[in-house]
Amino acid sequence: MFRRQITNIWNSLDWFTVALYGILVIMGWFNIYAAVYNEEFGSIFDISQKYGRQLLWILAAIVLIVVILLIDNKIYVYFSYPIYAAVMLLLISVLLFGVEISGSRSWFAIGEIKIQPAEFSKFATILAIANFLSEPGRRLMKLPNFLIVLTIIAVPTILILLQNDTGSALVFTSLVFMLYREGLPGWILLIAFFAIVLFIIALTKPFYWVVSLVLIACWIYAYLKYSIKRDLVYLGIFMLMVIGAAIAITFIFDINIEIHWIMIGFHLLLALYLVYYSYIKNSTYLLSVWVVSIMLIGFSYSVDYIYDNVLQPHQRDRIDHVLGINFDPLGAGYNVNQSKIAIGSGGFWGKGFLQGTQTKYDFVPEQSTDFIFCTIGEEWGFVGSSIVIILFVTLLLRIIYLAERQRSKFRRIYGYGVFSVLFFHVAVNIGMTIGIAPVIGIPLPFFSYGGSSLWVFTILLFIFLKLDASRAEQMA
């Protein structure tokens, strides 16, 4: 029977995805070798060096793969909550007994081996959510269910924030993609995106920009969604006329008029109109538009507090650098500046394996972990970087394809969870190395040095591949 089980797994496993995984892991190993290459320890198998130790993590990952493929699928369902609880206990324990590295108390140290529980919380959280939402009769948008899912996500997020590891905590925001597939309304994603835009505008522009943007968005939504177009056109024309008159008075009579007060006044005027229309039509939809706009404006008021009191100084500096508020190439922007120099110096074809000068002379900090992509850019150039990105995109699209062909809700939800986490890591890590995203310190999957991240990405992916290999079975 055991031999039959092995044969079934062998025949049913998605070998295309396995091949993508193997290619990415091997490429990552060689890039770690290039990033920390030392002529005195030239052998890539030397375990006294990072590249040698990474080989040990890869071999351990292979053992994990074998174990995962041999475990019965039902284990992942029946033990999802105990796994989640155990990992939460580890997150609490690391706050009490962990060691601090780079300002974050996120690690257990056993000799030379360091384990980061925050990494394992990713697959534990996805398993718990998949199990909860796959139970019969569960609908995400029923308020009790929605609050429970938010709690499952919030617990590890808060515990990781307490470890001062904001980057790992932000990864959990990516699960919104998984929830969207399971029924999360698109307008929630739209509001979240709009909040991010407002956050950036509130940091870089006067407050009346925020009020104006919210007012315009509210007006456009009401115009497109409801049959009050003529009234809204008249209201919009009136708003533009008053704003034009206010600007003219400012220049002609040299009177200082606070524009944001005019915009707030128009916001209240639109609100009164929406309240009136909602009343005569016995509808609360338009009123909800105004309520959401008030919440967004209130959020923008809180930006300064969040920026000054929640974010760490180095995180504020990195955001300032990305947004161009404070360009500091020798301070907060040093890592990104050196990374962009390294990637740009690779040109079209790259300098060649082990020929990267920026890499060889340690100009880029953390070049074997968070900034491993700059080694790819310098030594492999635009062509090599594009190949790596194409491989990642192919893997992500393959995961979506596999998730959509599942016959059980549990497997589909879990598959989208794997996609969400991998997508966030790839997009943000590459984005921060080329200067279009703040540096938040998260690894590039299968490339960055470290056992914890490699093992977790391996566990995430191969649990899903095992579930897919037996997709013909009936399961919740």
pLDDT at position 455 is 92
Q: Compute the mean pLDDT over every residue in the chain, rounded to the nearest whole number.
A: 80
Could you tell me the pLDDT band of residue 476, with boundaries at 50, 70 and 90? Answer: very low
Mean pLDDT of 175-192: 83
Q: Judge whether residue 229 has pLDDT over 60.
A: no
Residue pair 374/358 in contact by the 8 Å Cβ criterion: yes
pLDDT at position 49 is 85
Mean pLDDT of 432-440: 80
Phi then psi for 104, rounded to 5 degrees?
Answer: -120, 130
The amino acid sitting at 67 is V
Least confident of 144-153, 268-277, 332-341, 391-400: 268-277
Distance CA 377, CA 355 (A): 12
Mean pLDDT of 3-19: 80
Which residue has better confidence, 210 or 122?
Answer: 122
Which residue has better confidence, 335 or 178?
Answer: 178
Q: Is the pTM of this model over 0.85?
A: no
Which residue has better confidence, 401 or 276?
Answer: 401
Distance CA 52, CA 45 (A): 5
Q: Which two structure tokens, joined as six digits, stand for 269?
A: 């005027």
Residue pair 151/125 in contact by the 8 Å Cβ criterion: no
Which of 72-76, 144-148, 259-263 is the most confident on average? 144-148
Least confident of 128-142, 150-164, 348-362: 348-362
Could you tell me the pLDDT band of residue 68, with boundaries at 50, 70 and 90? Answer: very high
**Each residue's pLDDT tens digit, 284-308:** 666 666 677 777 777 776 776 677 6
pLDDT at position 447 is 92
Give one word for 283, left, alpha or beta, with left for phi > 0 and alpha for psi -120 to 50: beta
pLDDT at position 17 is 95
**Each residue's pLDDT tens digit, 74-117:** 888 889 999 999 999 999 998 888 787 766 778 787 766 778 88
Could you tell me the pLDDT band of residue 255, with boundaries at 50, 70 and 90? Answer: low
**Each residue's pLDDT tens digit, 407-431:** 889 999 999 999 999 999 999 999 8
pLDDT at position 153 is 93
pLDDT at position 371 is 85
Mean pLDDT of 233-253: 62
Could you tell me the pLDDT band of residue 199, with boundaries at 50, 70 and 90? Answer: confident
What proportion of the chain, given as a percentage, has pLDDT over 70?
Answer: 72
